[in-house]
Structure 1
Amino acid sequence: MLELIWPQEEGSETISVPLEVGGEEVGLLWMVGRPVRFSLRELDFIVALSTQVAVSLKNSQLLQELLDKSARLQQLIHRATTAQEEERVRISRELHDGLVPYFMDIIFKLELLEDLVGEKAGGLLQEVKEKAREGFRDLRGVIADLRPSSLDVLGLEKSLATYLERFGLENGMEVEFNGWGNLSGLDPLVEVTAFRVAQETLSNVARHARASKIKLSLGGDDGRMEMVIEDNGVGFLEREVMKRVMSGECLGIRGMKERAELMQGELKIESRPGSGTRVKFAVPLVGR
C-alpha cells in the first residue's frame, strides 16, 4: 500500500511504502522532502523499486540468520570436539594409572618365577612373559593414540617428528620430516586437530598405499599453519574416492575434512594411480 502524507506546506509531500515479501513486512521505505507532487509514473516506479528493496532486505536478513546459525554450530562443534579430547585424556590417564602398573607387576613376577622353576616350565613362563610384554606395548600404543602426551611437553612439531620416526620403524618405510616457520603458542585444539589428521593419513598409508617412502612437512607463517604429507605409494583415482566419501564411506577421510572445516581450514587430497598421494592440511592461526 502506498501512503501519501501531506505536510502543511502546499505542493510538497512525503511517501511511505511498506516493504513486504510473501505477505511479511520487512521494513518501510520513506521518501521525504519532495518539492512538488509525484506523478503517477513516478509513483509506479517507487512501488516497483520498493519490491526490489524488500527482496534485497529479506535476503540480507536471511543471510544474517544463516551466518548466526553457522557461528552457533561452529561453537557447538568446537565444544563437542574439546569435550571429546578431554574424554580421551581422561581415558588415557585411567589406562596409564590402572592397567599399566598391572602389566608391569605381572612381567616382574613372571621374571621372578623363571628363577624358581625348572627349564621346561621356564620356557612356558618365557612365552607368557613375551605375551604380557606384547600386550603392554599395545596398551602403550593405545594410550599414545588416545592423547599424545608429547603434545603438552614437546609441542606439535617435535611430537609429529617423533611419531613419524616411530611409524617408519614399525612399517619399514623411509621417512623424512621437514619443519619450518614459527609454530610456537599454537591453540591446543589446532595442535590436536593437526596431529589427528597426521595419524589418520599415516594409518591410510600403512593400510593401502604400499609405499616405501613418506615425507611430512609442517610449518607456519603469515597467520597460517600448513602440513603436507606425501608418499610414493600406488595412489588412487581421486573422483572414485570422493564419491565414496560423499556416499558415507571412507569415514577416515571424511573425518579429516570435518576436522579441517571445524578449524575454518582446508584439507586437499591429490593422487593418481602409480603416482603416490599428497595430503595438504592448512588452517588459519587466529591472532597472528
Structure 2
Amino acid sequence: MFKHRQDLAEARETYQRELLQSQLETQNQTLEYVGQELHDNIGQMLSVAMLHLNGLEEELAQSAHQSTVRRMVESIEGTITAVRQLSKTLDKSTVKRFGLIESLNLELERIRQTGRYQTNLQVLGQPYALSDESGIILFRMAQESLNNALKHARAKNLTIEADYQPDAFSLSIADDGQGFDQTEVVARKLSHSGSGLHNLRQRAQLLGGTCTIDSQPGAGTRVCITLPHQPAQ
C-alpha cells in the first residue's frame, strides 16, 4: 500500500513538472512571437513614419512648425529604441547569447528609461555559468516579479541582486513599494486571486530550488530564488 501511494505521488509530481515545462515552452514561444512582431512589423512601421517626418522637417525648414516636427521625430526615435529593447527581452535567445546578468541589465535599463523608476543591479561573488534552461527560467521569473512591482507596488526603486556562492546561486528582486499582506493574498477566493506567487514557487521547484517572498504592507516586497550549484567536475 505504501509503495502504491509513493508511486502515485511520484507520478503526480512528474506530471506536474511536465505540465509546467510545457507551459513554460508555450510562454516562451508566445513571447518570442510577440517580440518578433514588434521588431519586424511595428519597428518597420515606425521607421517608415520616421522617414516621412524627416522629409516633412526638411520641407518645413525655417517654419514655425519645424520645432513641433522635431519633437515628433525625437519621440518616435525613443519609441523605436524602446520597441527594440522590449523585443530583445521577450526573446529567450537573448539570455542564451548574452547571459543572465546582461539580460537583466537590459531589462532594468528599459524600465529606467521610462523616467519613473530608479534601478540597480548588484552582482556578488564570482560569477559562473548557469544552464540555458536555468538562465531562461530565472530571467522570466525576474521579469514577472518586476512586472508585479510595476503594476501593483507603486515603487520608486527596483533592485536585483545576483549572488554567486560556491554551493548555491540566489537571485533576489526587491522594490520599495507598498507591499502586501501575504496571508490575505493566500486566503483569497480563486476568482479574486492571481497565480503569480504560486507560479514563481513552481518554477523554482522545476529547477530544484526554492522561491521565498517577503512582503509586508508599507515595507516593500522581496522575491528570492535560490538554486543549488554543483560545480563542474
Question: What TM-score do you get using the length of structure 2 for normalisation?
Answer: 0.78
> Of residues 84, 87, 106 in structure 2, which corresponds to 1:143?
87
Query: How far apart in 1 are the matches of 2:48 and 2:126?
Result: 43
Matches within 5 A, 1:53-202: 58-117=1-60, 119=63, 122=66, 125-126=69-70, 129=73, 132-133=76-77, 135-147=79-91, 150-202=94-146
Query: How far apart in 2 are the matches of 1:80 and 1:275?
Result: 32
Query: How far apart in 1 are the matches of 2:115 and 2:59?
Result: 38
Q: Is the 8 A contact 1:265 1:284 kept in 2?
A: yes
Identity %: 24
Alpha-carbon shift at residue 201 of structure 1 (Å): 1.9
Aligned residues: 231
- Match of 1:115, SS state, is helix
- Corresponding residue for residue 214 of structure 1: 158
Query: How far apart in 2 are the matches of 1:213 and 1:95?
Result: 28
- Determine which structure has the larger helix proportion and give its number: 2
Residue 41 of structure 2 aligns with an amino acid whose one-letter code is G
- Match of 2:196, SS state, is helix
The answer to whether residue 202 in structure 2 is matched with residue 258 in structure 1 is yes
- Match of 2:59, SS state, is coil
Query: How far apart in 2 are the matches of 1:216 and 1:245?
Result: 31
- Match of 2:202, SS state, is helix
Cα RMSD for the two superposed structures: 3.2
Decide which structure has the larger Cα Rg and report it.
Answer: 1
Deviates more, 1:251-260 or 1:187-196: 251-260
Q: 1:235 to 1:261 in 2, by over 3 A?
A: same
Larger RCO of the pair (alpha carbons < 8 Å, separation 6+)? 2
- Match of 1:101, SS state, is helix
Q: Is the 8 A contact 2:161 2:173 kept in 1?
A: yes
Q: Is the 8 A contact 2:158 2:176 kept in 1?
A: yes
Q: 1:244 to 1:141 in 2, by over 3 A?
A: farther
Question: What TM-score do you get using the length of structure 1 for normalisation?
Answer: 0.66
Q: Which runs of 5+ in 2 are unaligned?
A: none
Alpha-carbon shift at residue 107 of structure 1 (Å): 0.3
Q: Is the 8 A contact 2:122 2:161 kept in 1?
A: yes
Q: Is the 8 A contact 1:229 1:280 kept in 2?
A: yes
Q: Which runs of 5+ in 1 are unaligned?
A: 1-57
Residue 167 of structure 1 aligns with an amino acid whose one-letter code is I
- Corresponding residue for residue 271 of structure 1: 215
